[in-house]
Amino acid sequence: MRQRDALMADPSLWFWSPAFADTIRILHQRVSRGGTVFEIGCGLGFLLHQLRIEGFDAVALDVAEMVVDLNRADGFRVWHGTLDTLPADFVQPEAVVAFFMLHHLEDPVAMLRGVRERWPGVPLLIAQYGPSNVTRHTNLAPRNLSHWNERSLARALQIAGYHVEIRSYPSNGTEGGELQRLRSRTFERLVSRPRLYRALKRIVDEVTRVIARPLRKADFVLLAIATPEEHLAAPTSGAPDSVTHPPGSSIPTTGSSDARLPAVAR
């Protein structure tokens, strides 16, 4: 919570992967100025605050009462509950986003289908931990019920009726190890001084990204840009690390990645 308070003046400092900045750029392409973006699983509200700064009407849901109350106190419309309990007239978004929450769901495909059925013409952007982003702490149930790679994420969205572009991002190289512990200790001492905390974080994050470049891991974060088939727009970019998967297309099964949907963690 102290970190949240220190970062909310510039929530982009929480965006540790380029997937966040790409999401904002895509939303500016797809959503009208002042248009509504609906976030499923808003957590502490960093993305909500950044969406507001960018000029969007940010609305959300979350199952955790504490964060719902927290974000409501900041002036956001937030539903407390799951997607299937959301009233039909609560929100009519121009885009839906969900960041790092599929692995918490017992039936993620049902949730994706629910989004498609409620808002059939609306694009969906999903960020998810990639196959190299696994730790002993986050890899196990009940926190993590599934693991995802490019093919399984694309397949889940295809089943729900979307045309899918998947982008893959490397880590910044600072996760784990002594470098991460040093950063954490430094920032913990400064979190009670928000301005200094933010200024130092900008500098340290940039410097450590350069130093740690050789330690980066490929496929650390995946971003799915899912468009309903009948509402296909021009490609969002020519990014070399993106692959598109139309609904109903076959997904190659060569290589080490598994094209099946992820199994529930045991």
**Domains held by the chain: number:** 2
Tell me the whole-structure pTM to 2 decimals.
Answer: 0.79
How confident is the model over 42-98, as pLDDT tens digits?
999 999 999 999 999 999 999 999 999 999 999 999 999 999 999 999 999 999 999
Q: Categorize the per-residue pLDDT at 223 as very low, low, confident or very high, splitting at 50, 70 and 90.
A: very high
Residue 172 has pLDDT above 50, yes or no: yes
Check residues 20 and 182 and name the one with the higher pLDDT: 20
190 domain residue, yes or no: yes
Which pLDDT value is given to residue 81? 98
Residue count (the chain):
266
259 domain residue, yes or no: no
Four-residue CA torsion sign, 49, 55, 59, 60? negative
Same domain flag for 12 and 54: yes
- Contacts (Cβ under 8 Å, ≥6 apart) of 147: 103, 129, 131, 134, 139, 262, 265
Same domain flag for 14 and 104: yes
How confident is the model over 114-150, as pLDDT tens digits?
999 999 999 999 999 888 887 666 566 566 678 889 9
Check: CB of residue 244 under 8 Å from CB of residue 238.
no
192 domain residue, yes or no: yes
116 domain residue, yes or no: yes
Q: Categorize the per-residue pLDDT at 35 as very low, low, confident or very high, splitting at 50, 70 and 90.
A: very high
Question: How high is the mean pLDDT of the chain?
Answer: 82
Beta-bridge partners for 124? 96, 226
Same domain flag for 194 and 226: no
Place of tokens 């799951």: 82
Check residues 171 and 47 and name the one with the higher pLDDT: 47
Same domain flag for 111 and 226: yes
The pair of structure tokens assigned to 198 is 């933010």
Same domain flag for 188 and 119: no
Share of the chain above pLDDT 70, in %: 73
Same domain flag for 195 and 159: no
Same domain flag for 201 and 128: no
Which pLDDT value is given to residue 240? 43
Same domain flag for 92 and 123: yes
Same domain flag for 9 and 75: yes
Domain residues for the domain of 154 are 2-173+214-231+238-245
Residue 264 has pLDDT above 90, yes or no: no
Residue 250 has pLDDT above 90, yes or no: no
256 domain residue, yes or no: no
